[in-house]
Structure 1
Amino acid sequence: MTKVIKSTIAAAVLAVMGVSTASADVTAEGVRFTGDTEFAGFCKAVVKDDVRLLRSSVSRNIGLIGASQREVLKVVSAKDGVTCNGVSLVEFSQSRDASNVYQFLTARS
């Protein structure tokens, strides 16, 4: 029963996250976040290649996206999780050469 509820909650979160994503448009001055910026902290962590900032964003979303840091990280780093500039968080970190964040994301997925 509990597993069914968790699956339903996870599916609902993913459905909401598909709509609630932040995209980063790179400009000469830096990065501008457009659309729903609720999850922009994840993209900002990649842009700055800052694992501490990423972990902070994960911690802030416990209870909203998942019940633990591990669950939040799993959901946001999924292929259909949070997107930045139209691509998944992992792909965005790779394209931005954010090696620290990329290593953190891939080591924990």
Structure 2
Amino acid sequence: MKAIVKSIAAVLTVAAVSSPALAADKEYRFVGDTQFAGFCKAVATNDVRALRVNLSRNVGRIAATEREVLRMVTAEDGLTCNGENLVDFSVKRDASDVHEFLVSRS
């Protein structure tokens, strides 16, 4: 009986923790080429860790190194989120941590 109670408690804990994360995904809608939407989401959520993960995942796809990937996606004619480049989008979204990362590394 104790094992069942522990199992139910574990399931409820996982459900409670994952619900806010799933709800947060519904706040964003990606239109058009969504292949690099992770960059926009990282900026919108001010998540430097997610941005770095997207940089490393795109090594070899966009450029040879993370620094080169960052340069490509932050270029004026590079990746756009809501019609703006990543740096301008981070300012508009008040993503100060991501903005600092983008400006210091590019």
Q: Provide the rounded CA distance (Å) in 1 between the counterparts of 2:96 and 2:64.
A: 27
Corresponding residue SS for 2:30: strand
Q: Secondary structure at the match of 2:29?
A: strand
Match of 2:85 in 1: 88
Give the superposition deviation at 1:46. 0.5
Q: Counterparts of 1:53-72 in structure 2 under 5 Å?
A: 53-72=50-69
**Structure 2: how far apart are the matches of 1:95 and 1:30?**
17
Which residue is equivalent to 1:31?
Answer: 28
Q: Report the alpha carbon displacement of residue 30 of structure 1 after superposing the two structures with TM.
A: 1.9
1:102 and 2:102 aligned? no
Paired letter, 1:104: F
Name 2:47's counterpart in structure 1.
50
Matched to 1:64, the amino acid is R
Percent identity among equivalent residues? 60
Normalising by structure 1, we get a TM-score of 0.72
Structure number, greater radius of gyration? 2
SS at match of 1:106: helix
More strand by share: 1
Structure 1 residue ranges (4+ consecutive) displaced by more than 4 angstroms after TM superposition: none
Q: Can you list the C-alpha shifts for 1:24-57, whole angstroms capped at 9, x where unaligned?
A: xxxxx62211111000000000011000000000
| CA RMSD, Structure 1 to Structure 2 (Å) | 0.8
Q: Is there any run of 5+ residues in structure 2 with no aligned partner, and where?
A: 1-25
Deviation per CA, 1:35-87: give whole Å up to 9, x if none. Answer: 11000000000011000000000001000111000100011011111000001
Q: How many residues align?
A: 81
TM-score by length of 2: 0.74
